[in-house]
Amino acid sequence: MSIPSDESGRLTVNYYGKGGTIATLSAVDVIKKRIKKDELKDKIVFVGATEVGIYDMRATPVESAFPGVEIHATVASNALQGRFILRDKRIIAIEILCLALFPVILTLLLGVLRNSFLGLVAFMFVSGIYAVFNYLLFRNYSIDMSLLYPLSSTAMAFISSEAYRNLVVERKNRYLKKAFSSYVSPELVAEIIKNPDRLALGGEKKEITVLFSDIRGFTGISEKLAPDVLVSLLNEYLGPMTEVVLKNNGTLDKYIGDAVMAIYNAPLNVTDHPEKACRTAIEMIDKLKEVNSSFKQKGLPPVDIGIGVNTGYAVVGNMGADMRFDYTAIGDTVNLASRLEGQNKYYGTHIILSEFTAGKVKDKFLLREIDLMKVVGKEKPVAIFELMTDGNNKLAEGFSEALKVYRAKGFQNVLDIFTGLIGEYNDPVAKLYAERCREYIQTPPPPDWDGVFISSKK
């Protein structure tokens, strides 16, 4: 018979229940022969006192006052039935493995979940599995594995991970909020903080829509106003324009003097970004009426703006030095949007879209093609469109038909059409084309003329 004791000769008793679980007989009953012989036949009998005053009552895991003699009987029963509670070097090795493994598992789960509540659920899940495993081993195999140490190490891993998240991750969240709250909407800031991995701050090439707006004749306005008044005017103008950008899930890239540059679909993906940029442009024109009304009450001059919108691929990301950087976009897509904005003065329009944006929103807004333009430094012309905010379908249709005749070199015939559009709608684009027709009637274009307008403005 092998009795599993530790190095000090101690063993763990496997109690079957409270005192009296093992059959107990009164000594008086035995002496007076009230007990049948069969009750004692082939039994090992332990004789001891059970009265409290005898001081042989012991505190045990199952009862605070357990008869000492029954402890001896329990040990004998454990030995005879081989039901000692086992705790050898193998059990200790498994404990050490659990002690090391469970915190690692929990830490990995917390890294994936990135949520305090889900992390708590994961902690309870891991702890619960071990507790059930521990209970089943004890009940079915009398194996004594420590419940305290593995669960304590797992709890420490949970507390440490949460402390790290609060100290480091929350610091990162505060940084992201500070970095982006000034130029994206609160909704996008929340989305960035929730899913920071969706950001590619180091730089990426993706399709975006770029919007440029600029105050016409701002140099002349600035020369007439005192510096403090000029700054006040700019702030009162830029504030509402920025609100419109953020409202439509745009990212305020930068202010360039009186100009506003906004990008859509970066840093986070924005569904229908060309449409949202166009809605921003329309709302900017509407908001300008309120701004000018406020300027009038304060004795400030009214302002007018031009807006250019282009869609295409650009490089977006954090750019700059370690001490200062900005999230911005660079590339031909950005340059073309800026040049489109500048063409509004030439055409007498407010909002010009490139063909790349127009093709994506033609079913959403009233557009009219106004020219084929070749910008400085580019060989391929780009069709440009006016985003018409007045909803004048007849003007759009009439101009479209006239443009076809113009490009077919029917200058004499189409001059009358343009003149009619001027008379009926006072259309500035029709005025421009009427002037071109008169010039071409006097000096016809070369045979290879393709109707492309070459812009000399960068």
pLDDT tens per residue, range 226-259: 999 999 999 999 999 999 999 999 999 999 999 9
Task: Give the pLDDT confidence score for residue 368 in this predicted structure.
Answer: 97
307 domain residue, yes or no: yes
Q: Are residues 104 and 228 in the same domain?
A: no
Q: Are residues 291 and 314 in the same domain?
A: yes
Nearest to 109 by CA among 129, 135, 136: 129
CB atoms within 10 A of CB 200: 14
Which secondary structure element, helix H or strand E, spans residue 369, and what is its range?
strand 367-374
CATH of the domain at 235: 3.30.70.1230
Task: Give the pLDDT confidence score for residue 5 in this predicted structure.
Answer: 74
Task: Give the pLDDT confidence score for residue 349 in this predicted structure.
Answer: 97
Q: Are residues 43 and 135 in the same domain?
A: no
Task: Give the pLDDT confidence score for residue 415 in this predicted structure.
Answer: 96
Q: Are residues 252 and 360 in the same domain?
A: yes
Length of the chain: 458
Task: Give the pLDDT confidence score for residue 369 in this predicted structure.
Answer: 98
Residue-wise pLDDT for 94-152, tens only, equals 888 888 887 888 788 877 777 778 878 888 888 888 889 888 888 887 787 888 888 88
Distances (CA, A) of 37 to 21, 25, 43, 73, 77: 21, 12, 10, 20, 21
Q: Are residues 248 and 379 in the same domain?
A: yes
Of 373, 391, 409, which one is at a domain's C-terminal end? Answer: 391
* pLDDT of 22 over the 80 cut: yes
Helix (H/G/I), strand (E/B), else coil: 261: strand
Of 45, 69, 85, which one is at a domain's C-terminal end? Answer: 85
237 domain residue, yes or no: yes
Q: Mean pLDDT, to the nearest integer, of 152-164?
A: 85
What is the torsional sign of CA 270, 271, 273, 278? negative
Q: Are residues 250 and 358 in the same domain?
A: yes
The number of domains in the chain is 3
Q: Mean pLDDT, to the nearest integer, of 164-182?
A: 72
Beta-bridge partner residues of 371? 384
438 domain residue, yes or no: no
Q: Are residues 56 and 161 in the same domain?
A: no
CB atoms within 10 A of CB 359: 14
Angle at 139 between CA 133 and CA 144, to 5 degrees: 70
420 domain residue, yes or no: no
* Both tokens assigned to 439: 């010039």
Task: Categorize the per-residue pLDDT at 182 as very low, low, confident or very high, splitting at 50, 70 and 90.
Answer: low
240, amino acid identity: P
Q: Which of 145-149, 260-264, 268-272 has the lowest mean pLDDT?
A: 145-149
Residue numbers of the domain that contains 117: 89-178
Q: Are residues 129 and 65 in the same domain?
A: no
234 domain residue, yes or no: yes
Task: Categorize the per-residue pLDDT at 201 as very low, low, confident or very high, splitting at 50, 70 and 90.
Answer: low
Task: Give the pLDDT confidence score for residue 179 in this predicted structure.
Answer: 64
Q: Are residues 14 and 39 in the same domain?
A: yes
Contact between residue 331 and residue 204 where contact means Cβ atoms under 8 Å apart? no
Of 372, 391, 410, which one is at a domain's C-terminal end? Answer: 391
Of residues 307 and 6, more confidently modeled: 307
Task: Give the pLDDT confidence score for residue 337 in this predicted structure.
Answer: 97
Compute the distance between CA of residue 456 and CA of residue 458 in angstroms, rounded to an integer. 6
Contact between residue 360 and residue 276 where contact means Cβ atoms under 8 Å apart? no
HEC profile of 59-72: CCCCCCCEEHHHHH
Task: Categorize the per-residue pLDDT at 35 as very low, low, confident or very high, splitting at 50, 70 and 90.
Answer: confident
40 domain residue, yes or no: yes
Q: Are residues 293 and 322 in the same domain?
A: yes
Q: Are residues 96 and 228 in the same domain?
A: no
40, amino acid identity: L
Compute the distance between CA of residue 264 and CA of residue 267 in angstroms, rounded to an integer. 8
Task: Categorize the per-residue pLDDT at 181 as very low, low, confident or very high, splitting at 50, 70 and 90.
Answer: low
* pLDDT of 325 over the 90 cut: no
Residue 86 φ then ψ, to 5°: -90, 135
* pLDDT of 166 over the 90 cut: no
Q: Are residues 108 and 244 in the same domain?
A: no
Alpha-helical (H) ranges within 408-456 are 411-425, 428-442
